[in-house]
Amino acid sequence: MTSSPETYRSYIQASRGEFSCAKPSCMALQNAWISDRTLCYLASGKPVVVQDTGPSAWLPSGDGMFRFTTLEEAAAAFEAINANYMRHCRSARELAACCDAADVAGRILDESLGSGSARTGGAPATGAATR
């Protein structure tokens, strides 16, 4: 816990990255869960090493974000990050972009409503049903 959002942001930005283990329930569900803290690290351009909670099409493992199931995999992730830290920092920031709230909310609305996207001037969303 920190005294303010600014203190929390400063803490994350001053760190080298994140190492985190998941709760047992997340492991059992295998739903590719990651924490909001992990997204804060990624958005700050900090690489993360997190316990594997299932496959993800949106947040792949191996460049800026490493998922591990064994101690050896975690150690290998740290070695890879340390071998090219700046590349993994850039990749971490790029991964966070896929979680941008405006984009995600827009895609959810487009898909659920089957409507055109306001961001593309009303053109139908790819694969969306038209009525």
- pLDDT tens string 25-78: 888 888 888 888 999 999 999 999 999 988 887 777 889 999 999 999 999 999
Say whether 51 sits in a helix, a strand or coil. Answer: strand
- Other Cβ atoms closer than 10 A to 20: 13
Q: What is the pLDDT of residues 95-112, one digit of tens each?
A: 888 777 777 788 888 888
Domain boundaries, the chain: 5-99, 101-131
Average pLDDT, the chain: 84
Q: Is the pLDDT of residue 129 over 50?
A: no
Beta strands in the chain (DSSP E): 18-20, 48-51, 65-68
